[in-house]
Structure 1
Amino acid sequence: SLIQNSDGELTASVLSGSDDIQSRNFIKKYVASWFDLETDIKPFYRMAKKDELLRPLVKKYFGYRMVGICNLFESLCWAIIGQQINLNFAYMLKQRFIMHFGERLLWRDKTYYLFPKIERIAALETSSLTALQFSRQKANYIIEVARTFESGKISQQQIAALSFEDAKEMLLSLKGIGNWTANYVLMKTFHHPNAFPLEDAGLQQAIKRNLNITEKPGLQMIKDIFSKYEGWEAYATLYLWRSLSD
């Protein structure tokens, strides 16, 4: 299906297969997960309005929700791609990755690219990705993740059924997945409200800017700040990240 924004409303067009109740229900569920529509964020707002750091942010960005990455494999690939590089270069690498290895769909004279399938990436050699300016290490990580999925050792359904800590432990068992990546994926794909990437440079910069302090906060300071947001760490992170775009 193709989901588009038209005059402030989302419209979904079924481009292949049957336009039946099952397909429509799948699309509704997908969109609800994509925009985290099933999470009641009113308790987060009540908490944030009492907090010096978050109060101005929830007022300014009221209604902002976690825009997720519904596919776990895509989420892991994107997190690995984005490790320790600037966002513009990360976007460029992701675009190359999708255009080279993803399937294409032509509709109304416009080409749409689908995220590469697991089996396509699992069959690659490292050189296929380094040719696109991926580091050898990241290329190996992405291919290894794809092969782990293909072998059945890990699946999205399996992780979705686990507790936050168990899901995090399973993600950390993957080569190339550290604490930052695991928490990012648990935020963006599984909507765990208490997941947050403690070591994130953007989070540090956002806290520094919004508290108007001269130096970036250390990890202990971030832990102390986030101890007040228990159960809503992901949304606190989201709103702090959003403030960097202004």
Structure 2
Amino acid sequence: MWKEIIATAGPYHFDRVLDRLSIDPVNFLHLEEKFVKVPLVIEEMPYVIRVKAVGSTADPLFEVSGNDEKVKEQAIKEVKRIFQFDFPLQTLSLHFEKTNIAEIFQQHAGTPLVLEFDLYRCLIKCIIHQQLNLAFAHTLTERFVTNFGYQVEDVWFYPKPETVAALKYDDLRALQFSGRKAEYVIDTSRLIAEGTLNLAELKMMSDEEIMKKLIKVRGIGPWTVQNLLLAGLGRPNLFPKADIGVQKAIQKHFKLEKKPTSEEMDEYSLQWAPYLSYATLYFWRSIE
């Protein structure tokens, strides 16, 4: 068993991190004891890493622990990436206090952009969530993971691409997937399993290159790519204008009679660059 204390610049509101993670029933966390168990796949082996808040919002400290000493360095690197411990959130406050959404950033100060635990998980989750209400999307995702994934230390891991690639469409239809969604999830997994689609390469590509590459895959549209860039890769300047939640939040904040047009969203968002991803997150928070 190993433990490491990690410090990050305040404010960092870990309670809000846990609150958002708790929306997904697949995640293993404890709100009162302030920890989450993170499923990581390192060199094709599964490991469970516990991240527990031991400091405060103003002075954030985290105890990161695991069972296997040999992956400690890689695990800590991944935890820092996922929880964005190296990004000073005070930078956001200084930037957004001069913008037309300063009030939202004051209300949700210290809320970080926390990433999905790995890219395959993020992509499949995005495909499952396409054009569904959030509650049913999480229900489908939970069924998918608990039927075809696996557990380590009571923590659920998404199934491997090879496992999903070997499924039949009817296997997912039995879980109430639509025929099309079953095809998208399995066919995309087959591309990944056979090496035609290499997710690891995406980290080295620009946002535009990733969009051009993934949009060619059947079942992956701009909304899915933008969410992968934001929640999977942590790109800081993503603004998914087609996202219903973002549209509703902008409508609410600016007191519009109807949902904003694409042109209106472009105009409002001019002040938010180069942190459009954080504007997106804080808009989501403002209506949750």
Q: TM-score, normalised by structure 2?
A: 0.77
Distance 1:192 1:41 in 2: 15
Q: How does 1:63-102 map to 2 (within 5 A)?
A: 63-102=110-149
Distance 1:188 1:112 in 2: 21
Q: Does 1:25 align with 2:73?
A: yes
Q: Does the Cα contact within 8 Å between 1:118 and 1:146 map onto a contact in 2?
A: yes
| AA at the equivalent of 1:66 | L
| AA at the equivalent of 1:19 | E
1:131-157 residue CA offsets vs partner (Å, 9 max, x unmatched): 001111111001111111112122222
Distance 1:170 1:45 in 2: 34
Q: Which has the higher helix share?
A: 1
1:5, distance to aligned residue in structure 2 (A): 3.3
1:7, distance to aligned residue in structure 2 (A): 5.4
SS at match of 1:2: strand
Distance 1:180 1:171 in 2: 11
Counterparts in 2 of 1:12 and 1:42: CA distance versus 1, 3 Å: closer
Distance 2:64 2:280 in 1: 30
Q: Does 1:116 align with 2:159?
A: yes
Distance 2:271 2:211 in 1: 22
Aligned to 2:189: 146
Aligned to 2:281: 238
Distance 1:10 1:97 in 2: 31
Q: Does the Cα contact within 8 Å between 1:159 and 1:170 map onto a contact in 2?
A: no
Counterpart among 202, 212, 232 of residue 169 in structure 1: 212
Q: Does the Cα contact within 8 Å between 2:64 and 2:76 map onto a contact in 1?
A: no
Aligned to 1:50: 98
1:212-233 residue CA offsets vs partner (Å, 9 max, x unmatched): 2221111111121122222211
1:48, distance to aligned residue in structure 2 (A): 0.9
Distance 2:54 2:86 in 1: 23
1:85, distance to aligned residue in structure 2 (A): 1.0
Number of aligned residue pairs: 236
SS at match of 2:69: coil
| AA at the equivalent of 1:224 | E
Structure 1: gaps spanning 5 or more residues: none
Q: Does the Cα contact within 8 Å between 1:75 and 1:189 map onto a contact in 2?
A: yes
Distance 2:265 2:198 in 1: 32
1:96-149 residue CA offsets vs partner (Å, 9 max, x unmatched): 1110001122x4xxx322111110001111000010011111110011111111
1:6, distance to aligned residue in structure 2 (A): 5.7
1:88, distance to aligned residue in structure 2 (A): 0.6
Distance 1:28 1:225 in 2: 38
Counterpart among 95, 109, 117 of residue 62 in structure 1: 109
Structure 2: gaps spanning 5 or more residues: 1-47, 56-60
1:24, distance to aligned residue in structure 2 (A): 1.4
SS at match of 1:79: helix
Q: Percentage identity across aligned positions?
A: 29
Distance 1:186 1:31 in 2: 18
Q: Does the Cα contact within 8 Å between 2:246 and 2:284 map onto a contact in 1?
A: yes
SS at match of 1:3: strand
